[in-house]
Chains A and B, each alone.
Chain A
Amino acid sequence: MTLWLIFALMTGAAVFVVLGSLARSRPAVAGAVGADEAVYRDQLEEIARDRARGLIDDREAEGARVEVARRLIAASERGGGAAERTSTSRRRIAAVVALVAVPAIALGAYARLGKPDLPDLPLASRQGEKPDMQNLGDLALRVEKALAANPNDGRGWSVVGPLYMRLGRPNEAATAFSNAIRILGSTPEREADLGEALYAGADGVVTEQARAAFERSVAGETPSPKGAFYLARAAEQDGDVAGAVARLKPLLTKAPEDAPYLDALKGEFQRIAQVPALPPPSPEQASAMKTPNERMAFVKTMVDRLSDRLAQEGGGDVGEWLRLVNARAALGDMDKARDALTAARQKFAADPRATTRLEALALGLGLEGGGA
């Protein structure tokens, strides 16, 4: 309410500027011509003053005087133009325009742009405000402030670290985790978190620092699955795919049935297996499959055709075999998938790289190993 009162007063003041000026105005004394003449007369006086101060000599003063006098005469000859008038009707129009246009424009524009119901929120008045628990940024800020006051609060660091990770600020997360380790001591979980933050900060490369953290996280009696997971990824990045699989395999076999990381683990195996994607259907084929059933049938025929081809020719590279196993499993046909896997293993028994990829896929699909 106060706000609208202020607006009304401001609008009134604006309108009054116009009305007041209209009421006060009286015909001006100096018209345009008069003003010109005044300037020239001043100039003549100025020449006389300059002469008196010795800035110009007589002849210069005379020359200047002649020129200005000529302008003066020209100006007074131009004179006789209509003097300024004023008319009541025009004044009324102006008054009405001011009365109508000023509030209309101001309120019209403000109605579109303004937020009259939003109060000011200076920070000083918001100390007691409850933080928005949904807003991770706000939460992180609160913890940061507490930490600025007490930088040796290890719990604070271990709370803010995961927040930073979720906010996509891994470098700060790494600082937070290493502070937590420094103050609270090393645990497999903290070391693994630190390594993960370093890994994310390096855009998905296991750096030496990160590897050291992961090594510490698996060194103790209760090795961190996360640490082992990332060490496998480090091995893979070094080109040691077999080593990566060897690292991951015990995780899968030892994992409890309901381990939360099980899906991530299987996904990792499938990623390592590097199954080539199926070729996309051609436009004609795509237009032929409208319903899910038609699509399913189409995929089945394609997979069968692939299987026939691989069986008959006895050829095909490991990619095609991986694709076949993967497709069989995806279609829910686990037995045929296992058959294909066995056939592939026999065929590529001499190729350790292919064997590793096949094993990884088998583990990832749950065709063997535990946890399925």
Chain B
Amino acid sequence: MIAETGHYALVLALALAILQSVLPLWGARVRDAALMGLAGPLAVAQLAFVALAFAALTHAYVTSDFSVLNVVENSHSAKPLIYKFTGVWGNHEGSLLLWVLILVLFGALVAIFGRNLPQRLKADVLAIQATISVAFLLFVLITSNPFSRVAPAPIEGQDLNPLLQDPGLAIHPPLLYVGYVGFSMAFSFAVAALIEGKIDAAWARWVRPWTLVAWIFLTLGIAMGSYWAYYELGWGGFWFWDPVENASLMPWLSGTALLHCAAVMEKREALKVWTILLALLTFALSLLGTFLVRSGVLTSVHAFAVDPARGVAILIILTVFVGGSLALYAARAPVLKQGGIFAPVSREGALVLNNIFLTAATVAVFVGTLYPLALEALTGEKISVGPPFFNATFGPIMLPLMLVMPFGPLLAWKRGDVGRAARGLVWALGAAIVVTCVVAGFVRGGPTLAPIGIGIGLFAICGAFAEIVERTKLLRAPFADTRARARGLPTSSWGAALAHAGLGVTLIGVVSATAWSSEQVVALKPGEQTRVGRYDVMFDGTEEKRGPNYRAVVAHLTVIEDGAPVAVVEPSRRLYTARKMDIAESGIATFGLSQLYAATAEARGDGATGLRLTYKPLVLLIWLGAVVMGIGGVLSLADRRLRVGAPRKAPRPAPALQPAE
């Protein structure tokens, strides 16, 4: 009964979404307050019903109700409880239900918190948002229904893919989905502005926080996914340029561009048309990501069940929304009035440069991801565009971006002064050069360019704080004065600085873990030892263990530094009995920011155990950088002030405080 109630709630949500996509839009055209007023309550009701459906599915999982097909295919009575919860979205149908849940959650949030939005804008936005949920609810109900039943019900389920039986499943997909779906808000706002033919001041005020929320979650989601792949897939790599990863990187890049653009819009009412286009494209890339991952075009741990009908359905959704919105853009964009003007060298100009770089990077990833797929579809020829392509395209675009990134915040709105900005960065550049030389002098091995990568990363970190140093007059004014000024700084300034610094932190991690990692692939018998990096690793033997739904062979390794044991690492292989899948669980020992990574191969006949041992210096910085970026985003979001970009009247010699960020 609960399962069927959930099913009916989902169908009701569809009915409400259809009303919500029609009535408020009509109301906005005829300026009928009653019809426009329907959007809010409908959005909230839709959330209530989708949440009910989600709760019903969760109930079926937790109680192991094997009359629900989705539960049979993805659960097992012996599965640990946490995976009964997370397993709800560890499959195609359930993950789409989560997608829809987050989508309607965003709609309801606009309805609840958007009281000061102009009524017509709000009605339009919620109606557009509802059309997206109509499309996805139909998709869920018709091609991927999580409430399909089986009779007679089997007595046991087929268990969840063991690769997904990990706490990562609790975090990674929801984070990523909030990111993907959050961009639908920017999309709905953009389409609403195009329909209205005008961008309200409130429009700009609203788009940035929504984009920022989406961006924060997407950043953390991607980082979490990367870390999960690193420790679960057993290869010890953190980014594989796999199409599925690229599918999430593309909206991140264009979303980052959108974020910066929206800042210009909010403060200076400039770049309106471009911001709208970016908003459309970013959501289009999110949908493309969904298509790539869910259609079965790609085979990966993400492609749960391959079903051509689903691929076609998502392709239709993609075509309608992307094609429709771009057609609307082509027709209506000329109507939008361009706002504030600015000199090429200015904060706005710097943000345009940022956009050019990020867009180029997006295109590089786009080509590298889709070209092989298109080629295979057209000619049947399989080519592999691996890391070499991306290293040759993405790297050369991102590195200069990181070099010019610190200049942006130091430039004034409307017209800036590069010379003055450069003076503010001299110490950062000095620090970067010194560290580059030290690294090049003292660290052995690795590519020649690696120290320069470290230097660029350090320059980005130091440069990120240059604006704050400048504005607090650090070391130039009495300390008390600096402290007072620091306290007076808007939190968004700290946010921007942290976000930029986070990128530098990640770069240092990537360079260090790639250039100076050392790896050993060996077969050891108990009592033997080998050397990885600056550690000796002693193999103590293996032990059999039983988990709730698996059997494991655990290898015991002792990590020895200078003759003294410093850590114990226990990589294992698990055989999940229901799916007959043999999964490597890596063992990781953390030393500061560096990690020793161990994975076992299948047991061999001669009593030896195959081991892959990798020492990755500073590898944790990769994900720590993303966390720093996320914290920066949260700080920026917490700054609820109105933003006005104050232009400088004329260049003056005396250093002055920057306008509010």
Alpha-carbon separation in the docked complex, A35 to B34 (Å): 18
CB atoms of B119 and A114 under 8 A apart: no
Task: State which residues 132-155 of A face B: CB under 8 Å.
Answer: 132, 135, 137-138, 141-142
User: Measured between C-beta atoms, what is the minimum distance from B81 to chain A in Å?
Assistant: 13
Query: A11, A30, A63, A94: which contacts B35 (Cβ < 8 A)?
Result: A94
Q: Which of B356-364, B532-540, B652-660 contacts A (4 or more CB under 8 A)?
A: B652-660
What 1/0 flags go to B14-28 for Cβ under 8 Å of A? 111011000100010
CB atoms of A27 and B33 under 8 A apart: yes
In the complex, whether A350 has a CB less than 8 A from a CB of chain B is: no
Task: State which residues 40-87 of A face B: CB under 8 Å.
Answer: 40, 42-43, 45-47, 49-50, 53-57, 59-64, 67-68, 71, 75, 82-87
CB atoms of B200 and A105 under 8 A apart: no
21 chain-A/chain-B pairs, Cβ below 8 angstroms: A13-B45, A30-B118, A32-B121, A46-B644, A54-B657, A56-B660, A59-B648, A60-B649, A90-B34, A94-B34, A98-B19, A101-B18, A109-B14, A113-B7, A118-B151, A120-B1, A120-B2, A120-B67, A121-B65, A122-B65, A138-B156
Q: Which residues of A contact B (CB under 8 A)?
A: 2-3, 6-7, 10-11, 13-14, 17-18, 20-22, 24-28, 30-32, 34-36, 38-40, 42-43, 45-47, 49-50, 53-57, 59-64, 67-68, 71, 75, 82-87, 90-91, 94, 97-98, 101-102, 105-106, 109-110, 113-116, 118-124, 126, 129, 131-132, 135, 137-138, 141-142, 169
Q: Which residues of B contact A (CB under 8 A)?
A: 1-5, 7-9, 11-12, 14-16, 18-19, 23, 27, 30-38, 40-42, 44-45, 49, 60, 63-67, 77, 116-121, 141, 145, 147, 149, 151-156, 200-202, 205, 269, 340, 485, 488-490, 580, 641-649, 656-657, 659-660
Alpha-carbon separation in the docked complex, A36 to B49 (Å): 34
Name the CB-closest residue of B to A55: B660
CB atoms of A116 and B4 under 8 A apart: yes
CB atoms of B644 and A43 under 8 A apart: yes
Name the CB-closest residue of A to B33: A84
CB atoms of A11 and B657 under 8 A apart: no
CB atoms of B36 and A84 under 8 A apart: yes
CB atoms of B5 and A3 under 8 A apart: yes
Given A32-B121, A105-B14, A138-B156, answer yes or no on A97-B644 (Cβ-Cβ < 8 Å): no
Closest 4 CB pairs of A and B: A122-B63, A64-B646, A35-B118, A123-B64
**Main SS of the interface on chain A?**
helix
CB atoms of B145 and A113 under 8 A apart: yes
Given A25-B33, A82-B31, answer yes or no on A102-B644 (Cβ-Cβ < 8 Å): no
Alpha-carbon separation in the docked complex, A202 to B151 (Å): 36
CB atoms of B119 and A36 under 8 A apart: no
Residues of B within 8 A of A53 (CB): 488
Given contacts A18-B38, A118-B3, 16 further A-B contacts (CB under 8 A): A10-B5, A14-B16, A17-B41, A21-B37, A35-B121, A39-B200, A39-B205, A55-B488, A56-B659, A71-B201, A84-B120, A85-B31, A91-B34, A109-B14, A122-B64, A141-B155
Alpha-carbon separation in the docked complex, A370 to B421 (Å): 104
Residues of A within 8 A of B31 (CB): 82-85
CB atoms of B648 and A60 under 8 A apart: yes
CB atoms of B644 and A94 under 8 A apart: no
Residues of A within 8 A of B4 (CB): 3, 114-116, 118
Query: B34, B44, B118: which contacts A22 (Cβ < 8 A)?
Result: B34
Alpha-carbon separation in the docked complex, A122 to B153 (Å): 10
User: Measured between C-beta atoms, what is the minimum distance from B265 to chain A in Å?
Assistant: 13
Alpha-carbon separation in the docked complex, A150 to B201 (Å): 72
Given A10-B9, A105-B14, answer yes or no on A90-B202 (Cβ-Cβ < 8 Å): no
Name the CB-closest residue of A to B62: A122
* Number of cross-chain contacts by CB at 8 Å: 249
Alpha-carbon separation in the docked complex, A67 to B153 (Å): 69
Name the CB-closest residue of A to B339: A71
Name the CB-closest residue of A to B37: A25
Residues of B within 8 A of A22 (CB): 34, 37-38
Given A90-B34, A113-B141, answer yes or no on A121-B153 (Cβ-Cβ < 8 Å): yes
Query: A39, A55, A64, A85: which contacts B33 (Cβ < 8 A)?
Result: A85
CB atoms of A131 and B155 under 8 A apart: yes
Query: B38, B154, B490, B647: which contacts A138 (Cβ < 8 A)?
Result: B154
Residues of A within 8 A of B67 (CB): 118-121
User: Measured between C-beta atoms, what is the minimum distance from A170 to chain B in Å?
Assistant: 12
Residues of A within 8 A of B205 (CB): 39
CB atoms of B660 and A35 under 8 A apart: no
User: Measured between C-beta atoms, what is the minimum distance from B539 to chain A in Å?
Assistant: 27
CB atoms of A14 and B119 under 8 A apart: no
Residues of B within 8 A of A124 (CB): 63-64
Name the CB-closest residue of A to B44: A17
Name the CB-closest residue of A to B15: A105
CB atoms of B647 and A67 under 8 A apart: yes
Residues of B within 8 A of A27 (CB): 33
Alpha-carbon separation in the docked complex, A97 to B5 (Å): 24
Residues of B within 8 A of A28 (CB): 33, 36-37, 119
Query: A50, A59, A106, A119: which contacts B12 (Cβ < 8 A)?
Result: A106
User: Measured between C-beta atoms, what is the minimum distance from A24 to chain B in Å?
Assistant: 8
Given A2-B1, A36-B200, A36-B201, answer yes or no on A90-B33 (Cβ-Cβ < 8 Å): no
CB atoms of B155 and A138 under 8 A apart: yes
Name the CB-closest residue of A to B3: A120
Residues of B within 8 A of A102 (CB): 12, 15-16, 19
Alpha-carbon separation in the docked complex, A140 to B485 (Å): 73
User: Measured between C-beta atoms, what is the minimum distance from B316 to chain A in Å?
Assistant: 19
Residues of B within 8 A of A45 (CB): 642
User: Measured between C-beta atoms, what is the minimum distance from B75 to chain A in Å?
Assistant: 10
User: Measured between C-beta atoms, what is the minimum distance from A209 to chain B in Å?
Assistant: 12
Alpha-carbon separation in the docked complex, A67 to B4 (Å): 58
Query: A17, A25, A36, A49: which contacts B45 (Cβ < 8 A)?
Result: A17
CB atoms of A94 and B1 under 8 A apart: no
Alpha-carbon separation in the docked complex, A103 to B40 (Å): 20
Alpha-carbon separation in the docked complex, A343 to B246 (Å): 73
Alpha-carbon separation in the docked complex, A7 to B7 (Å): 10
Residues of A within 8 A of B45 (CB): 13-14, 17
Residues of A within 8 A of B485 (CB): 54
Residues of B within 8 A of A97 (CB): 19, 23
CB atoms of B2 and A64 under 8 A apart: no
Name the CB-closest residue of A to B645: A64
Given A55-B490, A105-B18, answer yes or no on A123-B63 (Cβ-Cβ < 8 Å): yes
User: Measured between C-beta atoms, what is the minimum distance from A81 to chain B in Å?
Assistant: 9
Question: Which of A53, A82, A120 counts the most B-chain CB atoms under 10 A from its CB?
Answer: A120
Residues of B within 8 A of A3 (CB): 1, 4-5
Residues of A within 8 A of B490 (CB): 55
Alpha-carbon separation in the docked complex, A63 to B644 (Å): 11
CB atoms of A38 and B488 under 8 A apart: no
CB atoms of A123 and B648 under 8 A apart: no
User: Measured between C-beta atoms, what is the minimum distance from B486 to chain A in Å?
Assistant: 12
Alpha-carbon separation in the docked complex, A106 to B2 (Å): 17
